[in-house]
Structure 1
Amino acid sequence: MEMRGKGVVVTGAASGIGHALVEALLAKGARVAAVDLQDQGLERLAAEVNAGERLSTHRLDITDRSAVRALPAEVIARHGAVDVVINNAGIIQPFECVHDLSDEVIEHTMDVNFYGTLWMVRAFLPHLLERPEAYLVNVASMGAFLPVPGQAIYGASKAAVKLMTEGLYAELMETSVKVSVVMPGAVATNIAENSGVVMGDGEEGGDAGEGYRALEADKAAEIILEGMEDERLHILVGSDARLMQLANRIAPKGSIRLIQRKMRDLLGDS
């Protein structure tokens, strides 16, 4: 899809991949509605990109169904139409086993990652279906197909996003709406800080292990937009995501053991 002149909604836009997507979309001539819970982050984004009327910022909690339902009208009033929705907002959980997590953490992780994405899809899909061409993109994770120790609920929430998106792809095949699910590996963002998660020596944004560095957010955004241009259902972001998807298909148990060892080395024995 050619992005010039298109109205694009990006959630989780104040930082990380979302921030990079907003910059890249504006550079391609799109009109962007940047959505995030962080007021200060949205203010910094607006100041940095200096895009004038082509950028609007919207403070929103995507778990608030009433607020999400009101968002399409707000965006359309600013930009005239919505052609693309990129559901990028998400959080990780504390690095704890399932039986150690509180009910509140489990519910919040699912509310943000799965239900927040679902509410956005349900709010915007009627408008996307009215457009001559449109695109719906949901960001899941490498954790959607490869279990990460200490992130089982996060992985479950992202696996739900993956399967829901694949279901939407099937439902929308004969419409004007294209659908993709994005599965990033390690990307240098501040998702841990934004999620209130304390990391160890391998803090996100730095080295993800010996001889390995997380992908920069701007490169991740570039890969996502290229995947959209090719209308790929699955957009794998990073060499680790591509490698581990292959490994998981060939040797599921072996790939799980590998990620378990990597995470143990990264976080240390707890």
Structure 2
Amino acid sequence: MKVSGKVIVVTGAGGGIGRELVRNLLSKGARVAAVDISHNALEETVKQTGAASDRLSIHLVNLTDPAAVEALPEQVLKQHGAVDGIINNAGIIHPFVPVNELGYDKIRQVMDINFYGTLYMVKTFLPHLLARPVAHITNVSSMGGFLPVPGQTIYGASKAAVKLLTEGLRSELKDTKVKVTVVFPGGVSTNIMQNSGLADAGNKEMSKDQVAQLLTPVQAAAIIIEGIEKDRYRVLAGKDSRMMDKLYRLNPRRAAELIADKMKELL
């Protein structure tokens, strides 16, 4: 689906990949409804869009609240008159610890935001998307959604759930005009640590060389939107995601052991 002239809803739009998705979409002539839980973050996104902000609306929504999500389409329709696509980008990680050291409250929070937030958005907007001449659903999973990452096992489980939800939707909607894309970003240099409440969690910082190997949010957003415009089934964002996808298909055990060894250096 070409995004020019379309109305796209983007979650997690207050920073990182989400903010760059908003900026990229606006640069291509789309109208955007930016969704986030932080008003200040959304205001910063507006500032960074410049003159294009006249095609942008902001919406303060807690994605873990079904009622709040169900109220969103009316707000978007009031602002833009239609909705042609959603990009479920919002997500958080948890402290880099084994499952047996992770509390149930944090487990529920990660699942609520990453999986249920995506599910609520899909179920709420799908009737509107089915009524459009052409529409698109994009769900952001993770490289950790197809490959186990020790220390982020629950995060990975939430993103694996997003993966299968999206693939199931693709099959269910294959005879409709709603296209579906699942995205698997690898390492991206965002503020997900701080946004997940982990700034003081004692996790080791990455070296300059490690940071230099990460995809930038601008690059990640461009890859995602290219995937939408080409109606791709799967989008692997980053060299690490593409490489590990190939290795995991060839030898799942070897791929899992490789990541486990790498995580020993970070944890």
Task: Report the TM-score when normalising by structure 1.
Answer: 0.95
Q: What corresponds to 1:214 in structure 2?
A: 214
- How far did residue 52 of structure 1 move? 3.4
1:183 aligns with 2:184: yes
What amino acid is the match of 2:210? A
What count of residue pairs does the alignment treat as equivalent?
263
Equivalents in 2 of 1:187, 1:179: separation in Å? Answer: 23
Equivalents in 2 of 1:48, 1:112: separation in Å? Answer: 25
Q: What corresponds to 1:78 in structure 2?
A: 79
Q: Relative to structure 1, is the Cα distance of residues 207 and 116 closer, same or farther in structure 2, using a 3 angstrom cutoff? A: farther
Q: What corresponds to 1:257 in structure 2?
A: 257
Equivalents in 1 of 2:56, 2:14: separation in Å? Answer: 12
What amino acid is the match of 2:129? L
- How far did residue 186 of structure 1 move? 0.1
Equivalents in 2 of 1:65, 1:104: separation in Å? Answer: 18
For structure 1, the residue ranges without an aligned partner over 5 or more in a row are none
Equivalents in 2 of 1:134, 1:213: separation in Å? Answer: 34
What secondary structure sits across from 2:210 in the alignment?
strand
Task: Report the TM-score when normalising by structure 2.
Answer: 0.96
Q: What corresponds to 2:154 in structure 1?
A: 153
1:22 and 1:34 in contact (8 A); partners too: yes
Equivalents in 1 of 2:225, 2:6: separation in Å? Answer: 14
For structure 2, the residue ranges without an aligned partner over 5 or more in a row are none
- How far did residue 228 of structure 1 move? 1.3
Q: How is 1:1-270 mapped onto 2 (pairs within 5 angstroms)?
A: 1-50=1-50, 51-197=52-198, 198=201, 199-202=203-206, 207-208=209-210, 213-267=213-267
What amino acid is the match of 1:201? E
1:176-220 per-position Cα deviation (integer Å, ceiling 9, x unaligned): 1000000000001001110012331217xx5437xx521000000
Equivalents in 2 of 1:34, 1:187: separation in Å? Answer: 20
Q: Relative to structure 1, is the Cα distance of residues 207 and 75 closer, same or farther in structure 2, using a 3 angstrom cutoff? A: farther
What secondary structure sits across from 2:174 in the alignment?
coil
Equivalents in 1 of 2:53, 2:239: separation in Å? Answer: 36
1:36-77 per-position Cα deviation (integer Å, ceiling 9, x unaligned): 011111011111112233000011110010000000010010
Identity %: 54
Equivalents in 1 of 2:38, 2:219: separation in Å? Answer: 23
* Bigger Cα displacement from structure 2, 60-69 vs 248-257: 248-257
Q: Relative to structure 1, is the Cα distance of residues 247 and 72 closer, same or farther in structure 2, using a 3 angstrom cutoff? A: same
- How far did residue 130 of structure 1 move? 0.3
1:112-143 per-position Cα deviation (integer Å, ceiling 9, x unaligned): 00000000001100000000000000000000
Equivalents in 2 of 1:60, 1:236: separation in Å? Answer: 28
What amino acid is the match of 2:126? L
What amino acid is the match of 2:223? I
Equivalents in 2 of 1:154, 1:146: separation in Å? Answer: 11
2:3 and 2:229 in contact (8 A); partners too: no
1:26 and 1:32 in contact (8 A); partners too: yes
Equivalents in 2 of 1:10, 1:154: separation in Å? Answer: 21
Equivalents in 2 of 1:264, 1:196: separation in Å? Answer: 22
RMSD: 1.2
Q: Relative to structure 1, is the Cα distance of residues 207 and 76 closer, same or farther in structure 2, using a 3 angstrom cutoff? A: farther
Equivalents in 1 of 2:132, 2:204: separation in Å? Answer: 46
Equivalents in 1 of 2:191, 2:251: separation in Å? Answer: 31
